[in-house]
Amino acid sequence: AQSVTQPDIHITVSEGASLELRCNYSYGATPYLFWYVQSPGQGLQLLLKYFSGDTLVQGIKGFEAEFKRSQSSFNLRKPSVHWSDAAEYFCAVGAPHYKLSFGAGTTVTVRA
């Protein structure tokens, strides 16, 4: 069975600093990987997804993620965070790709 681990429950970052959120997955076949963001009181919004091809994926809001098969990882990055990036971030694996299995989430706090 597939599973997703987000090792960091909470990350605090200064505005303008870089951000990296870790995600490790376990899945026997080629994974379909996603990052979603959930702002307080809102539903989830898709930031980016990886199915195949270039292992560096660009998403919305200036986010990118890199798929590393050897490390079973799909880490999310942003070079310079804005206060509006404060939210909860979820990594997910689709197995199959329409049945999403989510990690526990990482809460990001942005300090001025």
Interface residues toward another protein, by CB under 8 A: 36, 41-46, 49, 51, 90, 92, 94, 96-105
Q: What is the bridge-based pairing of β-strands 100-102 and 3-5?
A: unpaired
- Looking at the Cβ atoms of 15 and 102, the one nearer to another protein is 102
- Looking at the Cβ atoms of 51 and 83, the one nearer to another protein is 51
Nearest to 72 by CA among 36, 23, 34: 23
Least distance from another protein to the Cβ atom of residue 79, Å: 25
Residue 32: beta bridge partners?
94
- Looking at the Cβ atoms of 31 and 105, the one nearer to another protein is 105
Least distance from another protein to the Cβ atom of residue 16, Å: 29
Least distance from another protein to the Cβ atom of residue 59, Å: 12
Residue 16 phi, psi (nearest 5): 95, -15
Please, how many CA atoms are within 13 Å of residue 101, restricted to the half-sphere of its CB?
16
